[in-house]
Amino acid sequence: MAEPRFDVLGIGNAIVDVIARADDDFLVRHAMRKGTMSLIVEEQAERIYGSMGPAVEMSGGSAANTIVGVASFGARAAFVGKVRDDTLGRVFLHDIRAAGVAFDTPPAPDGPSTARSYILVTPDGERTMNTFLGAAQNLGIDDVHAETIAAAAITYLEGYLWDPQNAKDAFLEAAAIAHDARRQVALTLSDAFCVDRWRDEFLGLIRSGIVDILFANEAELHSLYQTADFATALAALQKDAALAVVTRSEQGCVVVRREKTESVPAFPVERVVDTTGAGDLFAAGFLFGLAREHDHVTAARLGALAAAEVIQHLGARPETSLKRLAEENGIPT
């Protein structure tokens, strides 16, 4: 087995976030469910944008945010995702490369425009997302290059990829290539609604060992096992997954292995501005820790640190070097 060229490679929807503040009334008026991601078509996107307040545009996408976080820790990171060759596509491409991530998926020359997610941030810092998938849904098997996947120690996939059929095929192809090359496959469940759409298939991925490392937050875990009882869900997860991390916001996280579970506290935060990217950046730190062969608790602390950084400002990508931040906090990098 050759030395990996990348520590972590992510595959996900390539999305530009359009972020605006909104009050709770706005969500109610538009029948949005706080804290979740809804898929919308272009007409809905226009309607939501038309009624939203002034916005900021920033590159986003769950796995892309994670990969940028991995790079910010100083690791070798790569991303696979589909944009259109348009203004927002160029923004996405610029930002991910400027963050030090290898990104070579060719933009689509035609077809739907680059994916946008309208993110409404309420005064409590919670974010509610409405995503028009656009070009991202045309990510396909052709975009998954065997030599790139085989060159990454960990391939990280987002559950959102399960929504478009092409992306799902690409997901499974990538997982097969990774395992053939004796690499690891990680998955984030992405969103409780997404789990609700694909529950049985996600359980299949975990139980069959297609996924080696699983990330879930509490809502996603409850949705996966259809129970409101955390202990019940955790026990079920412990049976199904070789290694999983359940994130619990300000209650920190639980690292779940067959032989034991370990709780790691959240990092103290002065003020939560925008929770967008909290889970994505937790995964960044944890995956970086695994790539550096740190123990799981250290990896979880790196995750907690990165999540704490990203929720203290608007947007889902780190504003400061996570490597330096870890060093300042005495966590090994």
Query: Percent helix, strand, coil in the chain (nearest 5)?
Result: 45, 20, 35
Q: Decide whether 52 or 115 has the Cβ nearer to a copy of itself.
A: 52
- Min dist. Cβ of residue 97 to a copy of itself (A): 9
- Min dist. Cβ of residue 221 to a copy of itself (A): 32
Site for a copy of itself in 286-315 (CB under 8 A): 315
Residue 57 in the binding site for a copy of itself (CB under 8 A): yes
Count of residues that interact with a copy of itself, criterion CB under 8 A: 25
Distance CA 89, CA 114 (A): 5
Mapped onto helix, strand or coil, the DSSP state of residue 213 is strand
Output the furthest CA–CA distance in the chain (Å, rounded).
56
As given in the structure block, the two tokens for residue 57 are: 């545009």
Q: Binding marks (x or -) toward a copy of itself, 2..41, rule CB under 8 A?
A: ------------------xx--------------------
Secondary element (H or E) of residue 119:
strand 115-121
Site for a copy of itself in 87-146 (CB under 8 A): 87-88, 91, 94-96, 98-99
Binder of a copy of itself out of 14, 32, 58, 102 (CB under 8 A): 58
* Cβ(288)–Cβ(276) below 8 Å: no
Site for a copy of itself in 176-195 (CB under 8 A): none
Binder of a copy of itself out of 319, 327, 329, 332 (CB under 8 A): 319
Residue 85 in the binding site for a copy of itself (CB under 8 A): no
Q: Decide whether 55 or 236 has the Cβ nearer to a copy of itself.
A: 55
As given in the structure block, the two tokens for residue 31 are: 């029948």
As given in the structure block, the two tokens for residue 67 are: 């990969």
Q: Decide whether 98 or 297 has the Cβ nearer to a copy of itself.
A: 98
Distance CA 68, CA 284 (A): 8
- Min dist. Cβ of residue 309 to a copy of itself (A): 14
Binder of a copy of itself out of 13, 38, 59, 138 (CB under 8 A): 59
Residue 86 in the binding site for a copy of itself (CB under 8 A): yes
Q: How many CB atoms lie within 10 A of CB 270?
A: 7
Q: What is the DSSP string of 12-80?
A: ---EEEEEEE--HHHHHHTTPPTT-EEE--HHHHHHHHHHS-S-EEEE--HHHHHHHHHHHTT--EEEE
Binding site for a copy of itself (CB under 8 A): 20-21, 49-50, 52-59, 68, 86-88, 91, 94-96, 98-99, 315, 317, 319
